[in-house]
């Protein structure tokens, strides 16, 4: 079962609904990242309580640990990690790319040494599909080559980016063929590459559209390029993807990035930022970001975000979070992660309401003004 309905539009922005094997996902949606089968520092029950409808898992990491034998025994990732709602898994392409010089890319796939035990491994489009078949994620991603922004210290040229993008297209076909051969009952998304070159992005879109996949992602952004470059591609690419299919902007980003993506026609986002920043004492709030380690919060009785309804803000003060962080107490990242995820999820809830009521532009303007106001 897979369907996507666009319920309302405003400019390029869309309010939609994704129906997957394990449930429904209201879009635009932010998907928390559970790399190793756990959204770091947050109970699955807390994710459910805040209204999270879909989370991510990382194929590369789960392949290495706990490994396919364990995941097969549990019939997939859902039961293993105790998450009955929809799951999306990436393909491992981004992770092997992140290994840098330790990975060797060829037409066949990516060869690398396991960061866990040093084993020599080769990840191919076919193997990525086989792993994702075991994971049984509701949405699987094609294996792609994440095109680097810089190569050997200089910005990658159009020829290099084009060659990389075209290999990702060939890997998309191989992914699709293997996905079908494996009789995977879930949905496979393609990934648009093309770096910072609009013409290559359009070529990638055209070729992927011919594969008629259930959804499409935009990869190769937020990979070290200047912010303005990312914004140029995010403004250019999403609305050129097939209108009837969900559009997923991978690995992005700040709350502002999300609003820009939505305005450009994106339906789905994932990012480690809410949880990673939380662990570093960086809390997102309606009126700007809050660095809880700052000494100014030592005696501050206010909740992190007075306008927030999350369990952290309902019960705890900035002074308490500051103290927990200073003492290295585990509760500090737990409470901050809970708050940041709630903030992201709640912004998306507000966006969906605004889109449904035809006031997205006004909402986005107010959101931006509020965030810039400062605490």
Residues that bind its own copies (CB under 8 A): 36-38, 40-45, 61, 65-66, 69-70, 73-74, 80-82, 298-299, 301, 311, 315-317, 319-320, 322-324, 326-327, 329-331, 333-335
Q: What is the nearest approach in angstroms of its own copies to the Cβ of residue 35?
A: 9
90 given a catalytic annotation: yes
Strands 13-20 and 3-10: antiparallel
Rounded to 10 degrees, the C-alpha dihedral 162/166/168/173 comes to 160
Of 297 and 367, which has the nearer Cβ to its own copies? 297
Q: How far is CA 166 from the centre of its chain?
A: 23
Return the number of the residue (182 or 331) whose C-beta is nearest its own copies. 331
Catalytic residue (one of 144, 270, 300, 305) = 270
Closest approach of its own copies to the CB of residue 98, in Å: 17
Q: Rounded to the nearest whole angstrom, what is the least distance from the CB of residue 26 to its own copies in the complex?
A: 24
Asked if 81 and 45 touch (Cβ cutoff 8 Å), the reply is: no
Distance CA 61, CA 27 (A): 27
Are the CB atoms for 40 and 279 separated by under 8 Å?
yes
What angle, 0 to 180 degrees and rounded to 10, lies between the N-to-C axes of helices 255-263 and 331-356? 20
Closest separation between CB of residue 32 and its own copies, Å? 13
Structure tokens at 80: 């293993």
Q: SS3 of 108, please?
A: coil
Q: Which helix (H) or strand (E) holds 56?
A: strand 55-57
Report how far residue 50's alpha carbon sits from residue 42's, in angstroms, rounded to the nearest whole number: 11
CB of 316 to its own copies, least distance (A): 5
Q: Which helix (H) or strand (E) holds 141?
A: strand 139-141
Nearest to its own copies of 40, 349 (CB atom)? 40
Mapped onto helix, strand or coil, the DSSP state of residue 139 is: strand
Of 260 and 325, CB closest to its own copies: 325
3 state SS of 13? strand
User: Strand, helix or coil at 293?
Assistant: coil
To its own copies, the closest distance from the beta carbon of 339 in angstroms equals 12
Q: Which is closer to its own copies, CB of 12 or CB of 323?
A: 323
User: Please, what is the minimum distance in Å from the beta carbon of residue 68 to its own copies?
Assistant: 12
Nearer to its own copies, 17 or 282 (CB): 282
Q: Which residues of 200-219 are buried (b: 16+ CB within 10 A; e: fewer)?
A: bbebbbebbbeeebbbbbbb
Q: How many Cα atoms within 13 Å fall on the side-chain side of residue 174?
A: 19
| Residue placing its CB nearer to its own copies in the complex, 195 or 333 | 333
**Whether the Cβ atoms of residue 282 and residue 291 lie closer than 8 Å to each other:** yes
Contact 318, 300 (CB under 8 A): yes
Active site residues: 90, 270
């Amino acid at each position: 079962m897979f369907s996507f309905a666009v319920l309302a539009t405003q400019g390029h922005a869309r309010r939609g609904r994704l129906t997957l094997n394990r449930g429904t996902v209201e879009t635009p949606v932010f998907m928390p990242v559970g790399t190793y089968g756990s959204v770091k520092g947050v109970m699955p029950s807390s994710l459910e309580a805040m209204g999270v409808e879909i989370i991510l898992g990382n194929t590369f990491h789960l392949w290495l640990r706990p490994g396919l034998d364990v995941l097969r025994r549990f019939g997939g990732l859902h039961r293993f990690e105790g998450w009955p709602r929809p799951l999306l898994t990436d393909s491992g392409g981004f992770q092997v790319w992140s290994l840098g010089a330790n990975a060797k890319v060829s037409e066949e796939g990516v060869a690398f040494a396991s960061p866990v035990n040093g084993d020599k491994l080769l990840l191919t489009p076919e193997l990525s599909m086989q792993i994702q078949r075991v994971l049984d994620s509701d949405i699987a991603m094609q294996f792609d080559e994440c095109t680097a922004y810089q190569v050997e210290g200089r910005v990658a040229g159009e020829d290099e980016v084009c060659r990389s993008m075209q290999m990702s297209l060939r890997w998309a076909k191989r992914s699709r063929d293997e996905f079908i051969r494996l009789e995977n009952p879930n949905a496979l998304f393609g990934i648009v590459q093309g770096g910072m070159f609009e013409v290559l992005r359009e070529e990638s879109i055209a070729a992927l559209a011919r594969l008629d996949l259930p959804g499409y992602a935009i990869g190769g952004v937020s990979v070290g390029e200047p912010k303005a470059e990312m914004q140029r591609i995010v403004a250019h690419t999403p609305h050129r993807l097939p209108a009837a299919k969900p559009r997923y902007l991978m690995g992005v980003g700040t709350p502002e990035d999300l609003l820009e993506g939505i305005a450009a026609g994106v339906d789905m986002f994932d990012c480690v930022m809410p949880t990673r920043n939380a662990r570093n004492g960086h809390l997102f709030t309606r009126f700007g970001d809050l660095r809880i380690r700052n000494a100014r919060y030592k005696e501050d009785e206010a909740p992190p975000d007075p306008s927030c309804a999350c369990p952290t803000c309902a019960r705890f003060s900035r002074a308490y979070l500051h103290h927990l962080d200073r003492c290295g107490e585990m509760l500090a990242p737990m409470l901050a992660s809970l708050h940041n995820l709630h903030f992201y999820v709640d912004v998306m809830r507000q966006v969906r309401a605004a889109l449904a009521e035809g006031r997205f532009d006004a909402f986005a303007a107010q959101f931006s003004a509020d965030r810039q106001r400062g605490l």
